[in-house]
Amino acid sequence: MTRRLVVIGNGMAAGRMLEHLTELAPGAHEITVFGAEPRVNYNRILLSPVLSGEKTFEQIVTHDDQWYETRGITLVKGGEITAVDRAAKTVTARDGNVTPYDALVIATGSSPFIVPVPGHRLPGVVAYRDLDDVDAMLAAAEQGGSAVVIGGGLLGLEAAAGLKMRGMDVTVLHLMPTLMERQLDVAAGYLLQQAMEARGIRVICRANTHSILGEDRVTGVRLDDGTEIPARIVVMAVGIRPNAALAKAAGLAVNRGLMVDDHLRTDDPAVFAVGECVEHRGQCYGLVAPLFDMARVLAAQLAGDASAAYEGSVTSTKLKVTGVDLFSAGDFAEGEGREDIVLRDAARGIYKRLVIKDDRLIGAVMYGETADGGWFFDLLRNATPIAEMRDTLIFGRSFAGGAALDPMAAVAALPDEAEICGCNGVCKGKITGAIVDKGLTSLDEVRAHTKASASCGSCTGLVEQLMQLTLGDGFARKTVQPVCSCTELGHDDVRRLILAKGLKSVPAVMQELEWKTSCGCAKCRPALNYYLLCAWPGEYADDNQSRFINERVHANIQKDGTYSVVPRMWGGVTSAAELRALADVVDKFAIPTVKVTGGQRIDLLGVRKDDLPAVWADLNAAGMVSGHAYGKALRTVKTCVGSEWCRFGTQDSTGLGIKLEKTMWGAWTPAKVKLGVSGCPRNCAEATCKDIGVICIDSGYDIHFAGAAGLDIKGTEVLGHADTEDEAMEIILALTQVYREQARYLERIYKWAKRVGTDTIRAQVIDDREKRAAFAARFRHAQRFAQVDPWAERVAGLDAHEFRPMAHFQPREAAE
C-alpha cells in the first residue's frame, strides 16, 4: 500500500531528497509537491551565472516537468501552503485546496533578511534569493546606471559581480571590516576586496546604511556618516533566516529554525523537515552540502531505513565569481592549543592558511590557488592524522609525506634569465655576474650596482640567497632584528615598504610583506598599527583590536584587576570646577585612592572595569579628557609657574607648556613622550631629564631632548635655541614628527637619538629651516585627523567590557 507523502517546498533540498527516495523506493509513495514559485525545481547556486549572463535559466533547471511526470510526482507550481492541520493530517493551499498526508516533509527553506532602514520598501529594493529577484536585477541592468549591494557575503559579492558584468556601476556596502568575515580570515578578506576592486567594483567596509533614498522608487543610499551613493537598484544580501513560520503556526517546536532530531523528524512523528528551515543540534545551515546530506538521510528514513541518521556537517565555501579562486572550510578562529601554517606569495596573490589542533586539520583558508581545497576538506572532515606530512602539508597533496622544500635549492635551479627584481627588471644572471665581476660582498653594493632590491625590497630574500650561493662563506648577511617571529623584516624595512608599496591596512602589510602568520601577534600588530597611523593620517583607520587593553579603555590596569584613571590637566594647571568634578566621581564610584602624580596630575586608583564607561562619561561632561597615562603618546607637559608668578621666571613657561600640550595631545608616538618647560635655569619643572625639555632664558628658549629618568637615567642634550615662542613650538613639533616618522616602535627618544646621532637630528630640525617647517606642518596635518566623536554622547550604548572613551574632546583648532 502506497503512503501519501506531501512535500511543502520545491527547492534544492526537497529535490535532492526526492531523487534519492524515488531511487530507493520507487512507487512506494503517492507524492505531491507544493512549490511556492510558479516554475520547476532549479539550482539556486547557479543564479549568479544567470545574473552575469554566463548561463540561462534553462541551463540551471534541475528537474523539468517530464522528470516529475516519469516518477509519478504531482507538482503544484505556485502552490503556497497556508496551513497545516496535524490532527487531520492535511495541508491547505492559498487557493483553498486541501490535501491529506500520511507523512509530511517541510522544506520551506529560508527568507532573506531585509534591513529595516527608512526606504527599505521602495520599488527597486530587492533581495537575492530566487529567479524573480534575478529578473528584477536584469531589468534594472538593461537601463544601466548604478547599483548598490548591501552585504559583502557570498550572495552579495556574487550579485555585485553579476551586475558589473551586465554593465552597471556597482558599490558594495559591508558593515564589517573585511568581506566574507564568516567564511574568511582577515588576510583572505583583504585579498578578496582587492580582487573585487580590480573588477571595477567599489567596496566600502565598515559601512552602516542609514537610509535608502527616493520617493516613488530608489534613487540612492545614505550612510551613517552622511555619504550618499546613487543607485537605480539596491540589492539586500545581508543574510537569511529559516522560514519556519508555517511550522510554528502548526504548533511544531521552533527555535531559530524548525527543530529536528537525527532522523530529521520533528516533535510530530508524522512530520519531517529538511533544508534551510531546519535547526539540528542547535545549528542552522545555509550552504548546500549540509542540505544534501540531510536529503540523503531523510530519503533513507522514508524508504524504511530506521538506522539512517544525520549527525551534522562540516561545511566548505567557494565563491562563484569567475576568476576569483577562494576556498574555506572548518574552524579557523583563534583558539588555545591551535597552530597555524601560513603560506603567502605576494607576487602571485596567493594566501593559504591551515589550522591544526591535536595533529588534525580543523580549518583551512585558501585564496588564489585552491586546487587542493577538496583534499584539505577530506582531511578535515575525516579527522585524518597529519603528523607525518606536517612539514609539507601546506604545499598540498603533491608533497604529502615528502621531504620539506629547500629554498636554496630552488633558487640555485633558477635559470640565469629568471627575473629576480620585478621593479627594476633584474634577472638572476645579472646579479650573480655583478657579484663575481665587481667583487660585491654586501647587499647595499648589489643594490647600488644592479638596482635589485633597491625599490620595494620584496626580492631582498632572493638576492641574499643568490649572494650566499655565489660567495659561500664570503657573504656575511647583515643581521637585522626582526619585528617579531611573524616576519624576517626589521622595523626600518617594514616602515620603508609601507610607504614604497602604498600599504594602508594591516592585512595589506601582512600579505604584501609575506607575514608568516595569518593575523600577526601581540608584538607586531601594535607596531604595524602605529606605522600605518603615522604614514597615512586621514586614510588609515586606527585598528582598536591592535591596541592593548589600557589603550582601548583609556585606563591603566592594576595588579588587583582594577584600573587607574588619569584625566588630563593642561600643563599641570587645574580649576575648582575640575577638582569638584574629580571629587564627585571619587564619591559616586567609591574610588579608594586619589594620588597626585609626578606629572602634575591627579590619579584615581581602584576603578572597577564595569564603572569605566560611566567614570569617563562624568569626566568628559566636565570637560576633562584622557591623559594617555597608558599610551605610546604624549603623556604630560610638566611646567613651573614661570614669569607670571615667580620672581626668577624669564618666560611664560606655564603658558608655553599648556600650548604645547593642547597642540600635541592625542598624537600617537613610537613610545611614551614626556615634556617639561622650566621658566628659568633653576629648572623647577625638571626639563633636563625629559624626552623633550625647554629651559627658558632671557634671550628665549633652549630646546633639550633625549633625557630619561626611569630604568635608565640620562640628562638631556641641547638640540638648539629658539628666539621666540613660535620658533620653540615649531622646533618641538618638528622634532616630534621626525621621531614619529623615523623611530622604531617602542624606541624611546633617547634610544633613537643614540642610534641615529644627535647631529643627524639637529641637521633636520635646527639647521634646515625648510625641512623643519615641513616636519612641523606634517605634524599639524596628522593632528587634524586625530579626532573622534565625543565619547560621552555614545557611552550609553556601549558595553563596559569593550569600549573606547573619547581620545580627543575639543577640535584641534580650538586647542591652538
Label residue 510 exposed, middle or buried (CB < 10 Å: 0-12, 13-18, 19+).
Answer: buried
CB 494 within 8 A of CB 475: no
Q: Which long-range contacts (CB under 8 A, 24 or more apart) does 18-26 make?
A: 18/63, 18/71, 18/73, 18/299, 19/295, 19/299, 20/295, 20/296, 20/299, 20/300, 20/303, 21/299, 21/302, 21/303, 22/71, 22/73, 24/299, 24/300, 24/303, 24/305, 25/302, 25/303, 25/304, 26/71
Dig out the grid coordinates for 50 from the structure: 544567470
Q: In Å, how far are 647, 652, 679 from 644, measured between CA atoms?
A: 9, 6, 10
Distance of CA 468 to the CA centre of its chain: 38
HSE-CB for 420 with a 13 A CA cutoff: 32
Dig out the grid coordinates for 544 from the structure: 582598536
Cβ contacts of 330 within 8 Å, gap of 6 or more: 314, 316, 355, 361, 362, 363, 364, 380
Residue 689 in marked binding region: no
Residue 486 in marked binding region: no
Amino acid making up residue 712: D
Distance CA 47, CA 59 (A): 10
Residue 646 in marked binding region: yes
CA angle, corner 461, sides to 458 and 466, nearest 5? 125
Residue 640 in marked binding region: yes
Residue ranges of alpha helices (H) inside 472-505 are 491-500
Distance CA 6, CA 4 (A): 7
Q: Which long-range contacts (CB under 8 A, 24 or more apart) does 331-339 make?
A: 331/355, 331/362, 331/363, 332/185, 332/362, 332/363, 332/364, 332/365, 332/518, 333/363, 334/519, 338/362
Q: Is the dihedral of CA 727, 729, 734, 736 positive or negative?
A: positive
Express the helix, strand and coil content of the chain in percent, nearest 5 each: 35, 20, 40
Task: Provide the β-strand partners of residue 7.
Answer: 33, 105
CB 348 within 8 A of CB 335: no
How many Å is the Cα radius of gyration of the chain?
33
Distance CA 124, CA 114 (A): 13
CA angle, corner 103, sides to 257 and 312, nearest 5? 40
Q: Which residues are annotated as a binding site for siroheme?
A: 684
Q: Which residues fall in the annotated binding site? A: 640, 646, 680, 684
